[in-house]
């Protein structure tokens, strides 16, 4: 094989395998860190995780049902500051829970009198030291539930 051929194959292999490897890392993080923390609630099997940059926000829309008890877990990789999240009523934007008022707890346990669609708003904070070069890390939003 020629020198150019070796370089081309190296380049191609990197470009193909790197995103897959990083995504796989994100899945392992979601599984080992976030899903494990949902106990004693039963994880629903859904997977919501992404690589986010410090300063970046994400939103998740989901219907929650009455007569069930839920745990929302929002987990960030160790290289990120504690993730901020709020739970909002989609009908009027009313904030129902804000983890910044609860010592940035990564989870919230709740139940509902009536089934309702809620929005989970997530933000990765930016530490002063990282202003010029914000870090990137995996953030997972996961749900567990059990009979109320």
Could you tell me the two tokens for 5? 């051929």
C-beta of 75 vs 88, nearer to another protein: 88
Minimum Å distance from CB 143 to another protein? Answer: 7
Q: Token match 């904030």: residue?
A: 95
Minimum Å distance from CB 120 to another protein? Answer: 8
- Rounded to whole angstroms, how far apart are CA atoms 43 and 46? 8
Closest by CA to 30, choosing from 146, 137, 145, is 137
C-beta of 37 vs 84, nearer to another protein: 84
Could you tell me the two tokens for 114? 């009536």
Minimum Å distance from CB 126 to another protein? Answer: 5
C-beta of 56 vs 82, nearer to another protein: 56
């Amino acid at each position: 094989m020629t020198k150019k051929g070796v370089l081309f194959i190296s380049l191609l292999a990197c470009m193909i395998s790197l995103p897959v490897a990083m995504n796989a890392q994100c899945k392992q993080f979601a599984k080992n860190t976030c899903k494990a923390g949902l106990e004693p609630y039963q994880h629903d099997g859904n997977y919501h995780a992404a690589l986010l940059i410090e300063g970046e926000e994400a939103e998740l829309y989901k219907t929650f049902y009455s007569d069930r008890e839920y745990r929302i877990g929002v987990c960030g990789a160790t290289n990120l500051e504690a993730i901020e999240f709020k739970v909002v009523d989609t009908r009027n934007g009313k904030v129902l829970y804000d983890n910044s008022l609860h010592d940035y707890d990564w989870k919230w346990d709740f139940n509902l009198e009536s089934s309702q669609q809620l929005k989970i708003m997530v933000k990765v904070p930016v530490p002063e030291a990282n202003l010029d070069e914000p870090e990137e890390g995996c953030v997972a939003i996961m749900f567990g539930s059990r009979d109320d």
